[in-house]
Amino acid sequence: MTPNTTPNGADRIKTVKAAWDKAPDGPKKEAALKHYQAAEKAQTAKDEAGVTKSLDAAVAALA
């Protein structure tokens, strides 16, 4: 059996925040910030599905 290597919400939030920090200013970064903030709220509410959904949206906004 292999260990679960999927990052948890807290680890993913750090990763997405690092990507957001490196992104150039502009509309993509602003959109990603809104999703990132939603992920933080979802994490506070212990809503893993909400964290994942918001972080996915943040990554897509930065792409």
| Per-residue CA distances from 6 to 10, 15, 24 (Å) | 12, 13, 28
Domain count, the chain: 1
Is 36 domain-assigned? yes
Is 6 domain-assigned? no
Domain that holds residue 35: 25-62
| Per-residue CA distances from 11 to 7, 17, 63 (Å) | 6, 10, 20
Per-residue pLDDT tens digits for 13-50: 999 999 999 999 999 999 999 999 999 999 999 999 99
Residue 10 confidence class, pLDDT cut points 50, 70, 90: confident
